Chain A
Amino acid sequence: MTAQTPSVPLAFQTGTGGILLWVVLPYVCLAVFVLGHVWRYRYDKFGWTTRSSQLYERRLLRIGSPLFHFGILVVLLGHIGGLVIPESWTDAAGISEDVYHVAAVVLGTIAGVATVGGLVILVFRRRTVGPVFSATTRNDKAMYVSLTLTIGLGLAATVAANIAGGGYDYRQTVSPWFRSIFLLQPDPDLMTGVPVLFQLHALSAMLLFAFWPFTRLVHMLTAPLGYLTRPYVVYRSRDTRLGARAPRRGWERTGV
């Protein structure tokens, strides 16, 4: 990353396909993710909800939902650790690649099993409990497919790399590529030699993030952490805005 080749020769090295997949697509997905959320928040605050189905069914949800959610939170932390923190930092902190790898595999396996187990229970519940199924929209189904695919590919990549291949250090390739996107110096070369399952996982994840703002997954972005610090009872003044819509320009109230 230090000696950046100018962006034009890149095309020769990785091919147009590589640029499309590892430069254009990530930025498009990122833009859709961010702008999509902004747009959704402005246009559809009312639709911004978990759409919980606990009212219909409690027993399966009680096991599946915490399993999945806590699992995926650990997975998220793991991804942050693996993708965002450069290997040189952990080296500097005295954590060798072997130690890191073992820790990641152990933690990742537990979290992965919990996530997939939870997901299986939740999907089973969604399909078999009548009311839950009839409350499932097409959008939900697409989201479930995309989510399951991403998780499945991620798990497959890890399993394949660790069991069949004896470990793959994605922190040499995928992670720098991931960071290069955010450093605005995209380096598609890094991704070309990556095992295909990792590539597919990254691609499906990008597509999932592009789809994210338009699904019920938006609830993640409003995780209510403010609850820990706010006063218990919220007082609010009667809306000064009357009627359900913002007044048209030129019709705003004066005074008050």
Chain B
Amino acid sequence: MSKKKATSSLRARNHDDELIELDKEFQQFKLEEFTVEYPSEDAITRTIDAMRPYVTQAAAPRVKYSFLRQLQVMQIQPLFWLANLLFFCMGLLVWYVWEGDPYKIMLLLSPIPFLLGLLEVFRGRNEGLLELEISCKYSAQQLLLMKLIVICAYNILLCLALIGIFGIFGEPLLLSKLIMYWTAPFAVAVSVGLAVASRVRNVLSVPIALVIWLFIAYGFLIGLEHYEQASELPYIAGLATVFVAACIAKQIQRLKKGFAYYEAVH
């Protein structure tokens, strides 16, 4: 132990001697006459800029990602909202002027804004943005469902308004009949729209979904004329609605999970 210390202090002394020698050598070079120029502003900025990438930035804050905040940025064209309002007015007109059956109006008209909304959903694809959109953190599939939900919610809102108006200014609508004529067909239309949209990945999905919808609506109308009197029908329709809605909800659930958190993985 002590021996070690001795050698190390010896080494230190040797080192000091070396330094003194070196100092003498330096003095021969007349170092004191050497001036160091202060770097220019420009050089300083350049150095700082060059260093910047090496300085680790503060980690991105883990933000809880609200669904609503995402909605703010989901840009949906005004035309879409207008077209939907137009259908709303059409329903009113048919009912008021031509005294159409409010139930049949609901059945036929209610899903159309949603199906047209698919156009809105595929807008990005038409304009060649898809490639960029699917390279982002949230995939196009998520974005697609996201927009569909917004469109669907707006659609339901309009329908409820229509039902309200029918009820206030005309005969109050029967819930059991609404289930048969509105919720069940509407849920089917939405799921058809979703199914087509996720398989046919372009604007063609809109006419396809519309045509399929017209056939289904026709089927509903025929079926309802025949079996309207059957007392268990509202229950079957109700069950069907719940079942289809559950399927849709499951897709929505998956989507929400994707949007729930902003995970920083750096």
Asked if A and B bind, the verdict is: no
Q: Which residue numbers of A lie inside 8 Å of B, CB to CB?
A: none
